[in-house]
Structure 1
Amino acid sequence: MTTHQSISSEQPIVSEVQLHGAVSSESSELKPGENLMVPDFDGIVSNGEFEAVSGFDPTRAVTEGIGEAVVSPDDLKDLPDAASTAYLMAETVCGADDRIRITPASGNPWRWICKLFITFPDNAKFVGTGWFIGARTVMTAGHCVYSKANGGWAKSIEVVPGMDGNSRPYGSQVGTSFRSVNGWIQDSKPEFDYGAIILPNCNLGNTVGWFGFANLSDASLKNLFVNTSGYPADKPFGTQWFNAGSISDVQDRKIYYMIDTMGGQSGSPVWRLLNGERHAVGVHAYGGCPNSATRITKPVFDNMLAWRNIPC
């Protein structure tokens, strides 16, 4: 049986069976979180809901078929996406680009989503996206917090919630404490590509708020309407962009969709809106049309809960 005990970054990685074992960038061991699950919502007749974003066409999002990726590398500016640290397939636009800019980004849930400025030990700098799951915990992709190619754990990550161009309505905090799991730290397995930033205190999270998250069954996820928003590098600096669609394929540790994304959105939340409540069901990380996210399974959920509950 897979074990999920927490270990420190200074202990040896033990075996394949501990792929979801939580790993810290610090020397002290993590305390395991309580085994608490949100309801699966099976039996409720609902495909989820799209966020009400002006200019977004939900009809097209439902009916969009598989198209060719439209990638414009010449449009990418400033820092590269953190996905390039692991030679991953860049996030891609699937068919016609119908992403919608979120401006201002100071309302819910947009202010829960953060622009990340990442510096690794070799001083290489990248960008990514994160999202609050607790007062001092920002969820993101594993490759945003740990890169073997760039020296291991990030040296620092500046977290800017609700960034809108040059506007930083809530300021920022710099995190130097990070979390991920053995499956990413040891073997860079895409299905274990998730991690978290632990901020110095709870001030920023308590100001902006955070997402819920859920472990849903295969049946609940299949064809579910989901939303995502983040900070693509092909758009004007510091701007947040939204898109939505349905989950087309559900695997044991991954979910797939034709939702438009671009480099810089590594780590973005993929969430279900239902009856006014927002629960993330995946951590966006990969392109290819369909694009994909690390699925929030029970072990992922348990690790997220432990990371969320780190005290102030």
Structure 2
Amino acid sequence: MTAKIKKIAVLTSGGDAPGMNAAIRAVVRKGIYHGLEVLGVKKGYEGLIHGEFITMNLGAVADIIHRGGTMLMTARSPEMMTPEGQKNAAEQLRYRDIDALIIIGGDGSFLGAQTLSAQGIPIVGIPGTIDNDISGTDLTIGFDTAVNNVVQAVSKIRDTATSHDRTFLVEVMGRDCGNIALQSGVACGAESIIVPEIMPDMEDIMAKLARGHQRGKNHSIIIVAEGAASAFKLGEELRQGTGFETRVTILGHIQRGGSPSAMDVVLASQMGGKAVEILCAGETDRMTAYVNQEIVSLPLEIAYGERRPLNRALYDLANQLAI
């Protein structure tokens, strides 16, 4: 990138994550601070392909910092998976003399970014996904809020579990990644945590329930990541194996909703500002990352690398604390 950046665009892609609006706000205001013209792309790559651009001024991002979801919206785009769709997306940017694109999203969104970069479009990615499964960064936008949403829900569920002497299995998001289950399970003192990365030991889980029952504890909380197993099947297996009454609660998309936590707002604001700085410095094919409590710039290709493994030490500690 040798030409001076004058006009940039920003879009959100993939699943929405609390804090995306704070990142959009930071990109827009930091861009304007540096004298850039900023456009927003509605509905992610689908909107990019079909030219759904809006002008982003200071007023456009007023009072969005505390709102969940994404004001630019997001949508699946099968068309972006085709060479023709990718070509059309790049042409839409060139037609409007847009010098660079900032993409807020997860690993699938970054793969789309790679196709645009291959066509000569300067790109910076901001990791926004509640799963916290992007390589290279310790945290992604939305993860902290999702964990807090689970903990708040489990706090309510535990009240009724205690009242009725029941074992509750709470299913949380995480098809391939157990970060939400692990972090929230530790935070709410779950008796067992079941994640996709580790095969559940049903005998050990039943033994924990039995030990708790022997010391007068007749209610338990088990956190299950959706990709690990069916909570309903596990609940039935536990009921048959222990004789304890079980109930299942699937939290679903409630985990994505609501105002972002303070942590996510600050993280998103820092990453949004850093993305603009990266472009102004003449760099491309980069991603913002949270590493050792600092926001840094890393090669975008790192995001496509091997996913950071589950924190096994934290998983083992959770089991030790739930004896």
| TM-score normalised to structure 2 length | 0.24
Instruction: Compare CA radii of gyration and give the structure with the larger one.
Output: 2
